Structure 1
Amino acid sequence: MASSLGAAVAVRSAPRHRVDAPVVATAADLALLGRPSTPAHDLDRHRRLLAVADGRIAYYVDDPGPGVDVPAIVWLHGLPLDARAWDAQRAHFHGRSRNVFVDLRGCGASDRIPAGTRDVTGLYVADLKRLFDRLDLHGDALVGFGVAGHVGLRFAALYPDAVGRLVVINGSPRFRRGAGWPWGIDDAGIRQLDAAWASGGPAGLIDAMLDPGRVLRDVTAVEVAVISARFRAMAARTGAATLTAFLDGISRDDDRDLLPAITAATLLVTSPIGREVPPEVGLYLRHHIAASLLAEIPGADHFVFATRPRLVNLLLDQFLLRHAPLTLPLPREGHRER
């Protein structure tokens, strides 16, 4: 193991070594996640719209102001969320970087996915390229979670000059199991999601995607209620076509052949109890992306950026802003690092 964040985070550049120390989200974590908007952190007041092919996307620039030289970070949410999912990260990185939060097409305030779109990942990548060009971003940082981590992998492979540092949180080059790929959603899982859609429509599919028994097993019932309420408010603005885009399109992607083309320094963040993207996927990515590190957050489930915000923020801070070795002092005796 190359280095470690004490007993809290395992950081790897070689074969996997599990760390089983439990990490429990604190009340402060949840207060941060559910904090009321303030003028400095009100996302809507930073909204801008960008014309893209067959529509517009919404993005939000949290900029420390003219004359302040800080790096730029582009943040991409997963499904069925929107840019508000990054509240805890927005609070942490405010004033320390030029933060650009994006609503993917079909989510938040962005326009819907155009009818007949076959390659939704390709659409997201094209939108992202348009945004990078509009903001004159070259060699800057890109952070993606879940489906957006998948988008980030393809974008970094196709446009290596655009991305200097890449963070993939529980993302995968392929989401469905198949020949030579034993991880991710199997046929039974797809049938369950299809059945949820057939019986309950968009609401039924959202219930399945946000089922706490699958994706929020690392927090208490009270914490589940807080996080679920926020996530469902975002999901309510997600178009039906966006939800089915994962089942019918994105989940069928296989971008493994693109991974060797990624030249950006890459941080892979995984959750050891995650079912949507098992931690073995992170190990696979580590071995196929040349300049990569693998960090596992012990005891964390799929939405680790929301359930373990302090650890994730510290990890991203060191990697994106300080370009420092990913290390932390060991916690004090009897003290659990959060």
Structure 2
Amino acid sequence: MTAKIAKIAKRNHVHLMGNPDASETLMLVHGLGTDQTVWHKITPFFLKHFKIVLLDHLGSGHSDTSQFQQHRYLDLNQYASDLVEVCEAYRLENIHIVGHSAGAMISALATLQAPARFKRLVMIAASPRYLQDEGYHGGLSEQDVSRIYSELMRNPATALPALLTEAAIYPEDPGLHAYFSASLQQVNRDHVLTVLCAILQSDHRETIRRITIPTLIIQSRKDYFVPMEVALYLHHHIPGSTLTVIRSKGHFPQLSAPGEIVAALQSFFTA
């Protein structure tokens, strides 16, 4: 392993699993408040037929936070560039990339930066813009965003867990709550405002029109962060996309309804 590859592997805590001889790759990309372990209920179903790539965004999980530069990560494009660097370092091709929440838009941006490497795109609980706008129902008002920032600055230790736990809408499952609480402890508090700004201030409504690879949009029937109108917006503006609405409620269906996610992915990958 060269020094450059080692640096990238350490930066994003890259983890390879699955079938090393498989001709296709499955890259799983998490969102804010989680890390690569958020996919632990999904990966067992794809170990035989895919090389699987897991990673942590810089500032999350076990990523190398010494490589975090605030001015570079005020935009989701840098996170997408990190993904592309991972793909280049490990010589990954024929990639089915699956992103959740902010990770979905990061994944979409990566496919535009290096289109030859990606075969399919899956966007789970995705949004091109979280703020409301004229003629666009994004889900959050300026007042909502100001409240989130204010609470995070006042009490960072409890504000983010409270916000994301509210968004989860989990069934009564102590195991899920325990996992989620532990995952949130991995979020780097020094960088979370930068990450939130990159997410909540972003507007990629024009960007998504440029996506040309087959795209699946997976939407829970009720999502605190992403209203159904946003999923419909993505479907209408990403050429040739497919929209699958699952019965699950909440922003983290890969945890609360993994069976529905696996079924949707398997159907899409074999179509």
Query: 1:196, CA displacement in angstroms?
Result: 2.5
Q: How far 1:199 sits from its partner (Å)?
A: 3.3
Residue matched to 2:155 = 200
Normalising by the residue count of structure 1, what TM-score does the alignment of the two structures yield?
Answer: 0.73
Where in structure 1 are there 5+ consecutive unaligned residues? 1-48, 325-338
Q: Return closer, same or farther for 1:50/1:283 CA change in 2, 3 Å cut-off.
A: farther
Distance in 2, Cα, partners of 1:78 & 1:215 = 13
Q: Distance in 1 between matches of 2:40 and 2:111?
A: 24
Q: 1:249 pairs with 198, 214, 220, which one?
A: 198
Aligned to 1:171: 126
Q: Equivalent residues in 2 for 1:211-222 (5 A)?
A: 211=166, 214-216=167-169, 219-221=170-172
Aligned to 1:275, what secondary structure does the other structure show?
coil
The code of the aligned residue for 1:190 comes to V
Q: Are 2:30 and 2:99, in contact at CA under 8 Å, matched by a contact in 1?
A: yes
Q: Which residue is 2:254 aligned to?
A: 305
CA contact (8 A) 1:168 1:266 kept: yes
Most deviating of 109-118 and 97-106: 109-118
Residue 177 of structure 1 aligns to a residue whose secondary structure is coil
The Cα shift of 1:202 comes to 3.4
Alignment of 1:141-180 (within 5 A): 141-180=96-135
Q: Deviations over 1:227-246 (max 9, x none)?
A: 12111211111111442124
Contact 2:73 2:79 in 1 (8 A): no
1:78, 1:147 within 8 Å by CA — same for their partners in 2? Answer: yes
Q: Distance in 1 between matches of 2:6 and 2:50?
A: 21
CA distance in 1, matches of 2:225, 2:137: 12
Q: Any stretches of 5+ residues in structure 2 without a counterpart?
A: none
Q: Secondary structure at the match of 2:155?
A: helix
2:60 to 91, 107, 113: 107
Is 1:229–2:196 an aligned residue pair?
no
1:292 aligned onto 2:248: no
Deviation by residue 1:15-52 (Cα, 9 ceiling, x = unmatched): xxxxxxxxxxxxxxxxxxxxxxxxxxxxxxxxxx7424
Q: Is contact 2:225–2:251 with CA below 8 Å preserved after alignment?
A: yes
Q: Deviations over 1:292-311 (max 9, x none)?
A: 10000024221111111111
Q: Is the 8 A contact 2:217 2:241 kept in 1?
A: yes
What is the rounded CA distance, in whole Å, between the counterparts of 1:150 and 1:297 in structure 2? 20
SS of the residue corresponding to residue 14 of structure 2 reads strand
Name the aligned partner's letter for residue 260 of structure 1. R
Q: 1:34-87 CA distances to partner (integer Å, 9 max, x unpaired)?
A: xxxxxxxxxxxxxxx7424xx82211100324xx33421100011100000000
Residue matched to 2:212: 263
Q: Which has the higher helix share?
A: 2
Taking structure 1 as reference, are residues 184 and 99 closer, same or farther at Cα in structure 2, changes over 3 Å only?
Answer: same
Secondary structure of 1:249 counterpart: helix
Name the CA distance, whole Å, in 2 between partners of 1:314 and 1:299. 13
C-alpha RMSD of the superposition? 2.0
Contact 1:202/1:243, CA 8 A, preserved across alignment = no
Q: Which residue of 1 aligns with 2:26?
A: 73
Q: Which residue of 2 aligns with 1:28?
A: none
Greater C-alpha Rg? 1
Change (3 A) 1:57 1:196: same
Which amino acid in the other structure matches residue 253 of structure 1? S
1:157, 1:259 within 8 Å by CA — same for their partners in 2?
no
Shift of 1:116: 3.2
In 1, are the aligned partners of 2:215 and 2:241 still within 8 Å (CA)? yes
Which AA in structure 2 matches 1:208?
L
Equivalent of 1:98, from 42, 51, 68? Answer: 51
Identity of aligned residues (%): 23
Question: Residues 263-290 of structure 1, C-alpha deviation per residue, up to 9 Å, x if partnerless?
Answer: 1110000012112011211111111111
Which whole-Å CA distance do the structure 2 matches of 1:50 and 1:228 have between them? 34
